[in-house]
Structure 1
Amino acid sequence: MPPAGPIDETLLAVRWAEAESLLRDRFGHDRLLPAQRKVIDRVLRGDNVLAVLPTGHGKSLCYQLPSQILPGLTIVVSPLISLMKDQCDALTRRGIAAVRIDQSISAEAFAEAWQSIRDRRSRLLYVAPERFFNERFTAQLGPTPVSLLAIDEAHCMSQWGHSFRPDYLRLPELAKQLDVCQVLALTATAPPAVMKDIRKSFAIESGNTVRLSTHRANLHLKCTPVASDQRDEVLLHRLGLKRSSSGRRGGRIRGATLIYVTRRNTAEELGQWLIDQGIDAMVYHAGVPAEERESIQRRFLESTDAVLIGTIAFGMGVDKPDIRRVIHYNPSQSIEAYSQEIGRGGRDGRACQCETLLVLEDQVTLANLSAGDLPSMTALQNLVERLVGQPDRFYLSLGKLGWEINLSSEAIANVMIHLQSLGHLRCLPTRYDTYRITPKLDRDVIVARSDPADREAVEAILSSLAKGKKGFRVNLIVASQKHQIARQDLIAAIERTAIAGLWNVQTSDTMHGYEWVQRITRKKAIVQKLYRRTHDHYQDNLGRLDQLMSYFECRECLAIGLARHFGHRRTRPCGRCTACLESDSPTGPPYETRWKRPDSLGRSALGVLDSVRDAYPDTFSDPIDQAKFLCGVSTTSFRRHRLSKHPGYGVCDQVPFDLVLSAITGTSEPLTKTKS
């Protein structure tokens, strides 16, 4: 999409004068950081911009400040509800109107948010990517002009990135449909290949990329190889609870500590163990109820000495300046993830110790997690069979389909993206299968107070309401056919009437839309291509883990290695990391970080497999599903049959997935990367 700019120097000067005033009087800052000024200057000039700035460097101000100056609405697409809420609350305290649209807000807050956008009291709107790309949002936005689309965590749109999300790939197309004037893409972790993808998607010129090194000098990087049975004691030592010769422990070292683990059960077990040792540790992961997660996050933010154990579910969008230690109890899944996670420490500029306790066996767990969304040949065949009979335009419930063909909804979404890149499909906005309407006034009053342009549609909707267990349900397909009103016109009426406060709307049953560009005629060939592509993606994930393990060999200054990975040049050692301080030590680096693979699987594991194949022949017809069972990698089919309770489930959880698969298939080599 072409950018809106350029603008003349006179208008730019006016915009900067307003920006300086707002910065001081509303945002409470005396000056901008140099990188922030560069980004904001390009935005105010009307350019599309890519900002690659380290965590804690104030990326949010790069769109918040321009949003109060640009003529139209600024939409911020962010995957983090907690970030949206925190930023909106912080802006409100400064007297700056900002709103968010997500599933957690009430019907009244929803109506007020959109009303404030319609009458231009709010010029900054936060939405999640999946909400941005659905039929309701387009209807809610209506004719509101959009000056700037700010895309937070923009690395999620690149298939080369470490946390690819299919919804992000839809953003460029929708930006065109909404006539967005310009785009600001922001990320803290973007290697050169990822930056190239982002720039290409949004027509960002290389000169409009503002990039800083991901590493901050106050982060002291350390890697400590430890045996698995010694890791807990080493962790206690880092927290200051040293055991004396009498067996007593000393007091805690002060300062907030963030401890990263891979699995939820590890977080729970470690949290309880630390509590038993006298440390009031908090545990945060996606399985903790939302209200409890919010309470834990609030306690951590308010404390100067808290210890929090979290999975990767914690940290994104959390702005706590005084974290003094970031400890990786388990290693990250990639250098990009590692950089992002350590970047949550020391945001106040003071020293933060960032240490990875490297247990070699952990990399097997991390590698096997990458196999979670790896589809079997059988699942891909079933998926393609379901697709070939679909009409020109069709909608799918990915969760329901995945349950039937033994694929996660995320895996199906990724396959559909591959089919789009192969030229077969085009993604359409998602829609909802179920709309529930709760009238707040009498029927005649609602019709009378609705927008005159919507009255026919409003009457059609009200006459089509059917009483259900949860309010009144409207079948839009029936209503559209019976009253000869297009679906999009019905939805526009639903949203405008809700914004007017005349009824409340609830939706459920998300349906992902697609249309054929070129139908599949050679099913077997397409299945083979999809199989190779999904396996290549799996191998890419393993490659990222290998890069991290090579990095932790500490053969050079860790700051230099981090800079090189992200395309920066750095020649001066930091003088503080493991490689700089311990290379002359007899026990110092370079470290051996490669786990020794077993030579064979063992007869007992194959015996377990024989027994479950006999009991569940349909479930275990494909070698990939067999390998997942032995490695303890969950699938929808395993959950349906409750096979995670089987005594043989996960019997090979300490054996690499590709080795297990090669033993099952009888091949001499594990999975190797192929090219399509």
Structure 2
Amino acid sequence: MTNLHSSLKDTFGFDQFRPGQEQTIRQLLSAESSLAIFPTGSGKSLCYQLAALHLPHLTLVVSPLLALMKDQLVFLAKKGISAASIDSTLTAEQSKAVMSDVRSGKIKILMVSVERFKNERFRHFIQSIPVSMLVVDEAHCISEWGHNFRPDYLKLPAYREALNIPLVLLLTATATRAVKKDMAQKFGITESHIVQTGFYRSNLDLSVVSVSTSDKNAQLLETIHQQSSGIESSGLQSSQRPGSGIVYVTLQHSAEQVAEFLRHNQINAMAYHAGFVSEKRQQIQSDFMAGKVQVIVATIAFGMGIDKADIRFVIHYDLPKSIENYSQEVGRAGRDGAPSNCITLANLDGLNTVENFVYGDTPELAGIEYVLNNIKAECQSSPPQSSQSQNSQQNVQWELQLLSLSNASNIRQLPMKTLLVQLELLGVLQPLYAYFADFKYKFVKSKEEIMAMFTGERQAFVAAIFAHTSFKKVWGEPDFEALFRSYACERSRVVVALEYLQEKHCVLVETKRITEVFSVNTDALSEPDLAEKLHQYFVDKEQKEIKRIAALVRFFELDKCLSHHLSLYFDDTQSPPLCGHCSVCKGQVATLEYSQQHRWPDDGLLTTAIRALAQHLNEKAGLLMSDISEDLYCRFLAGISVPLFTKYKVRQLQGFGSCEHVRYADIRQKVQDLLV
């Protein structure tokens, strides 16, 4: 067996493995696919990094966040391991260089997002590369039972099969028993190859502090001063360096307001959220990692993959989205093993905001019906075609551009992806391939030089591509349909040929507007209750998420050890029943309350707002009042944005968000009363 301890020391500079690492790596090197569930900061990434050095071919890593990829690449570069990513930040020239290095075997680890598999250029490329191992980071995204379910992850088992990848490693920090079982089953991982280390971390003090919204800023300031001063209640020895901290909030504008408040009170703090441009986010993160910023006030956009050892405190200014989110976020504290504090400033004021994220992602029945009718209409208007298909059968096909359909159906893009996956699982759709609606190239070398590179049929094929390209000045667009008729070739061969010419510095290729092509089972599409069945799926999913939020509130109000019950939630029964250092063990049981009872706006004002919305949508979109659903009125009053509101600038109307402090179920009852 490979001397793993030598590799660990020589390459990574570590004297010994952390719990679970060696077992996972030895399983992989014995050709056994594995699932590793380690707490945040426990060295999951080392499992694939070290294993990749001893595998013969490429290790392909699927990661959900660009920032996480970049951090990993910086770490690997420092260790002398050749790794790269193919992502949206690369220029065409940079992507080409990465692909060339992968093809030559120079690169051992390639990192991509799951969405990269939709890219026909990438798929044709990766199919030509021998891959030893597929690694799925944040693998709980695969499971519909998980908290961060991402529909595209459901396709990874099929991608693995299509690419004939022999080995899989799934990595996550948070998996309940149901999620663990679901992940393993999807990739055929046996129970004996699931490696789960203890969830409990003795250096983290979990505390829940009941506080009203009006007192929250003062409490936050006092809490941060306690962390920085090293007084006894902070859990730190007075001689210790204060270290850094993260303050988590729900909304982007809250991040900026709280950061400004802290700076005003001489705390070195910066806001961080997804609304900032990429360069600004990267600079803020870099400053935090370097110790130039002490406190980051962030939405959940910040933190995944952050490997900073001296984060001494994590404060939840607002309620997290779930117990899973909470565990990941507090897990960023104390990675150096030193005592660290995780404090939640808790009340129920933000409960409706967290819930509204869930309600906003539930498509209306009318939106689902629109999608199904769109598929039917396109199937009826288009005869079966096999020339573009990668399937030999004659199939009725449907083409999708996600953004356009999302706007037209008034379904957000994430639930639209979930809807498409459900249609696949019900046998209505089968993904065939994806292509770019805009596919163009320009010459770097002359046609004559390029033609001279080939002979026989290959030369004739390249000549056919050039002959069936429409040039506008410099750039040309291949006429795929004309090519199919005259040369009887598949689109994939044209794409591969142009990619090859780009690799040889003969042409430069540009692509835009990804279009997915599906085969449609018209019988399954015609099932009379299909729309209702799909809508019920989303309603059930919505209620599951609402229950998850209720479980979070119950957790914060526990009168038994928080650390122990957090471990039990993630199927770890080995933690001590009394940690001795959480707020409950210290005798401080929290009760979450509303800071104040918000009054409803006057019924007359709500009726005026509803009528204004109806009139606006009639003028802008031609919708009759009968076309506007109860849910659309509710979302308007709750301040939940949907594509229709963005398209027709509904947020500017008076009354939008006028009930944002009220829970959605109560808004629904009010709307029903007003519409009678």
TM normalised by structure 2 equals 0.89
Name the counterpart of 2:610.
Answer: 609
Please list, as runs of the form range in 1=range in 2, the aligned pairs for 1:480-491 lying within 5 A after superposition. Answer: 480-491=484-495
**In structure 1, what is the Cα distance between the partners aligned to 2:241 and 2:9?**
38
Once the two structures are superposed, the pairs formed by residues 149-298 of structure 1 within 5 Å of their partners are 149-240=134-225, 254-298=242-286
Q: Secondary structure at the match of 2:523?
A: coil
Name 2:580's counterpart in structure 1: 575
* Gap change, CA 1:84 and 1:514, over 3 Å in 2: same
Going from structure 1 to structure 2, the CA distance change for 1:95 and 1:659 (only over 3 Å counts) comes to same
Look up the match of 1:528: 532
- 1:493-504 mapped onto 2 (5 Å cutoff): 493-504=497-508
**Which structure 2 residues correspond to residues 295-334 of structure 1 after superposition, within 5 A?**
295-303=283-291, 306-334=294-322
Give the aligned residue type for 1:268: E
Cα distance in 1 for partners of 2:464, 2:69 equals: 36
> Aligned partners of 2:454, 2:408: CA distance in 1, in Å?
43
Gapped runs of 5+ residues in structure 2?
228-239, 380-395
Distance 1:238 1:453 in 2: 74
User: What are the superposed Cα offsets for residues 501-550 of structure 1, whole Å, 9 maximum, x if unpaired?
Assistant: 33332221012232224534556511111111111111111111111100
- Measured after TM superposition, the shift of residue 667 of structure 1 is 11
Q: 2:417 aligns with which of 407, 413, 424?
A: 413
Helix, strand or coil at the partner of 1:370: helix
Q: Which runs of 5+ in 1 are unaligned?
A: 1-12, 243-251, 669-676
In the alignment, which residue of structure 1 is the partner of 2:649?
642
Shift of 1:432: 1.7
In structure 2, give the amino acid aligned to 1:605: L
User: Given the superposition, is the C-alpha separation of residues 619 and 135 from structure 1 closer, same or farther in structure 2, using an over 3 Å criterion?
Assistant: farther
Q: Find the residue that maps to 1:579 and give its secondary structure.
A: coil
Counterpart selection for 2:668 from 637, 661, 665? 661
Report the 3-state secondary structure (helix = DSSP H, G, I; strand = E; otherwise coil) of the residue aligned with 2:614.
helix
Which residue number in structure 1 is paired with residue 634 of structure 2? 627
The separation in 1 between residues aligned to 2:474 and 2:644, in whole angstroms, is: 30
The residue that corresponds to 1:36 in the other structure is 21
Q: Is the 8 A contact 1:346 1:352 kept in 2?
A: yes
Q: Which moved more, 1:635-644 or 1:425-434?
A: 425-434
1:361-420 residue CA offsets vs partner (Å, 9 max, x unmatched)? 111111111112111122122111112234322220010011112112222111112222
Alpha-carbon distance between aligned partners in 2 of 1:425 and 1:393, rounded to the nearest angstrom? 9
Distance 2:473 2:43 in 1: 47
Aligned-partner residue type, residue 437 of structure 2: D
- What secondary structure does 2:579 align onto? coil
1:473 maps to which of 459, 472, 477: 477
Query: Is 1:343 aligned to 2:328, yes or no?
Result: no
Q: Which amino acid aligns with 2:660?
A: D
Give me the whole-angstrom Cα distance separating, in 1, the residues matched to 2:210 and 2:265. 23
Corresponding residue of 2:548: 544
Structure 1 CA distance for aligned equivalents of residues 473 and 423 of structure 2: 39
Q: How far 1:590 sits from its partner (Å)? A: 4.7
Letter in 1 for 2:178: A
Larger displacement relative to structure 2 (55-64 or 410-419): 410-419
Cα pair 1:597 1:655 within 8 Å, conserved? no
**Distance 1:170-1:477 versus aligned 2 partners, 3 A rule:** farther
Residues 593 and 474 of structure 1: CA distance in aligned 2, closer, same or farther (over 3 Å): farther
How far did 1:646 drift?
1.3
CA distance in 1: counterparts of 2:170 and 2:556, whole angstroms = 30
User: Does the alignment pair 1:591 with 2:591?
Assistant: yes
Q: Which residue, out of 367, 376, 391, partners 1:379? A: 367
Structure 1 range deviating more: 112-121 or 496-505: 496-505
* Structure 1 segment 57-96 matched on structure 2, within 5 A: 57-96=42-81
How far the C-alpha of 1:495 sits from its partner, in A, is: 2.2
What amino acid sits opposite 1:181 in the alignment? P
Aligned to 1:110: 95
Change (3 A) 1:21 1:406: same
Q: Secondary structure at the match of 2:301?
A: coil
Cα shift readout 1:131-150 (whole Å, capped 9, x = no counterpart): 02432222112432211100
Residue 589 of structure 1 aligns with an amino acid whose one-letter code is V
Shift in CA distance, 428/553, structure 1 to aligned 2, threshold 3 Å: farther
CA pair 161-601 structure 1, distance change in 2 beyond 3 A: farther
Mapped partners of 2:186, 2:486: distance in 1: 41
Q: How does 1:125-164 map to 2 (within 5 A)?
A: 125-164=110-149
| AA matched with 1:180 | I
Give, in whole Å, the separation in 1 of the partners of 2:347 and 2:456: 67
- Percent identical across equivalent pairs? 31
Contact 2:436 2:512 in 1 (8 A): yes
Partner amino acid, structure 2, of 1:509: R
CA contact (8 A) 2:347 2:592 kept: no
Q: Contact 2:375–2:398 (CA<8 Å) still a contact in 1?
A: no
Quote the residue 2:434 is aligned against.
430
Structure-2 residue corresponding to 1:566: 570
| Superimposed CA distance per residue, residues 243-288 of structure 1 (whole angstroms, 9 cap, x where no aligned partner) | xxxxxxxxx9932111111111111222222222233321111110
Change (3 A) 1:311 1:599: closer
Separation in 1, partners of 2:350, 2:645:
24
CA distances 1:75-122 after superposition (whole Å, capped 9, x unpaired)? 001111122222223222322111211111122322221122212111
SS for the counterpart of 2:315 is strand
Are positions 1:651 and 2:658 aligned together?
yes
Alpha-carbon deviations, 1:481-508, whole Å to 9, x = none? 4433211111111222223333332221
User: Which letter maps to 2:643?
Assistant: T
Q: Matched residues in 1 for 2:454 and 2:150: separation?
A: 38
Tell me the residue number matched to 2:392: none
* Alignment correspondent of 2:520: 516
**Cα offset for 1:460?**
3.6
Instruction: String of CA shifts for 1:20-60, please: whole Å, max 9, x gaps.
Output: 33222222222222300011011011011111111111111
**SS of 2:500's equivalent?**
helix
Q: What SS does the corresponding residue of 1:327 show, helix, strand or coil?
A: strand
CA distance in 1, matches of 2:447, 2:661: 64
Q: In structure 1, what is the Cα distance between the partners aligned to 2:458 and 2:343?
A: 60
Distance in 1 separating the partners of 2:302 and 2:123: 31
The change in CA–CA distance for 1:429 and 1:541 in structure 2 (over 3 A counts) is: farther
**CA–CA distance in structure 1, aligned partners of residues 624 and 87 of structure 2:** 37
Equivalent of 2:445, from 415, 418, 441?
441
Give the secondary-structure state (helix, strand or coil) at the position aligned to 2:44: coil
1:359–1:466: structure 2 CA closer, same or farther, 3 Å change rule? farther
Task: For residue 309 of structure 1, report the CA deviation from its aligned partner.
Answer: 1.1
**Count of residues in Structure 1 that have an aligned counterpart in Structure 2:** 639
- Tell me the equivalent position of 2:388: none
| CA contact 1:325–1:352 (8 Å) conserved in 2 | yes
